[in-house]
Structure 1
């Protein structure tokens, strides 16, 4: 582990995201505390690192993240490092239509080199509603 907890937390988060995008559940699990709390879009509670890829398999034909930046700050009250990874999703919808530029922000709390909490937000629900003619959304 690094002497710089902020830099180490950013490394942990990006490594976790890389393993998640590769659908390497065991690899992703190595970066998570056993009791990690995962909250996905729409407030969906996930039980473990295999749940997000399984959920994404229903929502997308395939999906990847294009990292724009990873920011982090040490929480002096808890010692946790709070990390935000932002960027764009790209891939294909289940109907085979390609997409790009779907904004996302992922939040992580990292303690002792492991992710203890993650929360995920993105534009996918709004875009899917717009594709169905049910709402206006940024496309």
Structure 2
């Protein structure tokens, strides 16, 4: 089965090396039909004093934040309605697109948009799937929604999927798909998707 060696300059912490190993394993498995336990990733470290580029010693590039953790923390802040904290995860030019091509650029717009649709909504997550993309990381998260309609009746089990673009450690774009409109059409609840 595949054995991959990755050489990095010394100085990366254990979590960064773990994330690099997992990303390398996932990349190999996207090309080679092998179970994760059959892919061996060896991360070698080179001492900085033993590395020169252009005749000069170099420092390693800083690790990027985990894009899935950024999304998870943003969604947790939104669920708690801690908009100030949630805004800290957003990049310049942030845009979100909800079902029906509803486009917003502020969290206050989102809160106003959601107001007539439900009293509150929470998410139960199945997975967060980060997809490497060079300078922009993509994260898909999906699961089900639960909460209360405007009349106070509870709902649950509504499917959703969110797609996030992470650039320079901040959320640049969020796209949302869910089955709320289907449920509303069948139950006559809320004010749409």
TM-score if structure 1 supplies the norm length?
Answer: 0.86
Pair 1:6–1:124, CA change in 2 (3 A): farther
Q: Which runs of 4+ in 1 moved over 6 A?
A: none
What residue ranges of structure 1 are gaps of 5+ in the alignment? 134-139
Alignment-derived partner of residue 31 in structure 1? 89
Describe the SS at the equivalent of 1:50. Answer: helix
Cα separation, 2, equivalents of 1:7 and 1:32: 14
Q: CA deviation at 1:47?
A: 2.2
Q: Residue deviations 1:72-106, cap 9 Å, x none?
A: 11113xx2100001011001111221111000000
Select the structure with the greater relative contact order (CA < 8 A; seq sep ≥ 6): 1
Cα separation, 2, equivalents of 1:83 and 1:111: 11
- The answer as to whether partners of 1:106 and 1:119 remain within 8 angstroms in 2 is yes
Pair 1:12–1:92, CA change in 2 (3 A): same
Alignment-derived partner of residue 156 in structure 2? 100
Q: CA deviation at 1:22?
A: 1.1
Instruction: Indicate which of 121, 127, 146 corresponds to 1:69.
Output: 127
Instruction: Please provide the CA RMSD for this pair.
Output: 1.9
Cα separation, 1, equivalents of 2:160 and 2:118: 15
Cα separation, 2, equivalents of 1:54 and 1:8: 30
Q: CA deviation at 1:67?
A: 1.0
Q: Residue deviations 1:45-69, cap 9 Å, x none?
A: 0121222222222211211111111
TM-score if structure 2 supplies the norm length?
Answer: 0.63
Cα separation, 1, equivalents of 2:142 and 2:108: 21
